[in-house]
Amino acid sequence: MELVKIPAHVGIIMDGNGRWAEARGKKRSFGHREGSKMVDKIVTYAFKRGVRALTLYAFSSENWARPQEEVDALMDLLATYFKKFIKKVEKNNVKLVVVGGRDRLSDSLKKIIEDGERATKDNTEHILNIALNYGGRQEIVHAVNSLIKDGEEVTVDSISSRLYTAESGEPDLIIRTGGELRISNFLLYQSAYSELYFTDVLWPDFDEVELDKALESFSQRKRRFGKVTNA
């Protein structure tokens, strides 16, 4: 499919793993496992299509309230994903950035994340931001506090420069799978002018064809950024 415009930065709220599993009479953690397989596919495909940066919402600061078994399963999947990512690092040119507070993560997961970020820090072609223990409001508070601490003026641009995703720029497109029509504390500051794409498809079913539909929809949007003329 020929697309007129490819978004440079895409954010994805990967919702619907639990319902996908429950519909098959399985545990919610089974849905997360299937969902993490789709992460692999979509990351590869999005970068192949020319997306420069991806931000994936893997675990929100509110997700700690889920049953411990589910939280543990998600943490295990993330650790496995990061370890696999580090192994593949020679073959791709992707910089891994884990965005969100590290305070509540286990020491072993923190170490894996640090290893992954260190191993990929000089990669330049793509950025993969994984939002983990992430909340958009908390990110804004963190950014403003860091400015105050450094005695810098708080402005629209200075806040932007201190966001976890600063290097990726603002998301051009935010996709939410799973049928809900809300942002759920994801990239609140950065999404001021993002195009939004909602689909009922549950995350474990969101394959390359579905991503193409989202890219096609983005390609047809007229972005004006509050002005009268088209971008």
Chain residues binding ligand FPP by CB under 6 A are: 14-19, 28, 32, 35-36, 39, 56, 58, 63, 74, 77-78, 81, 130, 178, 203
Whose Cβ is closer to ligand FPP: residue 25's or residue 151's?
A: 25
Is 63 a catalytic site residue? yes
CB of 177 to ligand FPP, least distance (A): 9
Task: In angstroms, give the least distance from the CB of 167 to ligand FPP.
Answer: 19
Q: Output the CA angle 226-229-231, nearest 5 degrees.
A: 80
- CB 205 to ligand FPP: min, Å: 12
Give the nearer residue to ligand FPP in terms of CB position, either 39 or 214.
39
Catalytic site includes residue 230: no
Residue tagged active-site, from 17, 40, 63, 207 = 63
| Smallest separation (angstroms) from ligand FPP to the CB of 57 | 7
Nearer to ligand FPP, 50 or 179 (CB): 179
3-state secondary structure the chain: CCCCCCCCEEEEECCCHHHHHHCCCCCHHHHHHHHHHHHHHHHHHHHHCCCCEEEEEEEECCHHHCCHHHHHHHHHHHHHHHHHHHHCCCCCCEEEEEECCCCCCCHHHHHHHHHHHHHHCCCCCEEEEEEEEECHHHHHHHHHHHHHHCCCCCCHHHHHHHCCCHHHCCCCEEEECCCCCCCCCCCCCCCCCCEEEECCCCHHHCCHHHHHHHHHHHHCCCCCCCCCCCC
Which residues, 6 or more positions from 175, have their beta carbon under 8 angstroms from its beta carbon? 10, 11, 12, 13, 197, 198, 199, 211, 214
Whole-number minimum distance, CB 74 to ligand FPP, in Å? Answer: 6
| Shorter beta-carbon distance to ligand FPP: residue 14 or 143 | 14
Q: Which is nearer to ligand FPP, 78 or 127 (CB)?
A: 78
* Residues designated as active site: 15, 63
